[in-house]
């Protein structure tokens, strides 16, 4: 019996110590531990919202620039057509001017 008690006693002491030392964390301790993490998350959320706003503004500007570019491209195409027409008329006049006169 003494041999059994000498083997069981340390196991009971270790188990009791683990249960006693493990304990539950208090709400204030948990809040204290989570506060720095919560602050970092809040900071990152604010930065993310700022970045999101910047990205949306950049997208709006890019879309506006794209529209202006498309309009400019259309105007350039019209001008190219007019220039081609003027060049054709000049070439026609030059070719008429080079003919010998009777």
Q: Cα dist. 91→81, 85, 87, 101 in Å?
A: 15, 10, 6, 18
pTM across the whole model? 0.50
Cα 46 to Cα 29: distance, rounded to the nearest angstrom? 26
State residue 95 phi and psi, 5-degree precision.
-70, -35
| Average pLDDT of the chain to the nearest whole number | 85
- Token pair belonging to 27: 């709400």
Exposure string over 7-36, b if 16+ CB within 10 A, otherwise e:
eeeeeeeeeeeeeeeeeeeeeeeeeeeeee
Which pLDDT does position 47 carry in this prediction?
97
Give residue-wise pLDDT tens across range 66-89.
Answer: 999 999 999 999 999 999 999 999
């Amino acid at each position: 019996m003494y041999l059994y008690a000498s083997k069981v006693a340390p196991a009971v002491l270790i188990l009791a110590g683990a249960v006693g030392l493990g304990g539950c964390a208090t709400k204030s301790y948990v809040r204290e531990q989570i506060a720095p993490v919560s602050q970092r998350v809040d900071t990152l959320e604010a930065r993310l919202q700022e970045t999101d706003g910047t990205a949306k503004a950049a997208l709006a500007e890019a879309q506006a620039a794209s529209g202006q570019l498309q309009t400019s491209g259309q105007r350039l195409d019209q001008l190219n057509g007019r220039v081609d027409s003027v060049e054709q008329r000049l070439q026609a006049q030059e070719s008429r001017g080079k003919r010998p006169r009777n």
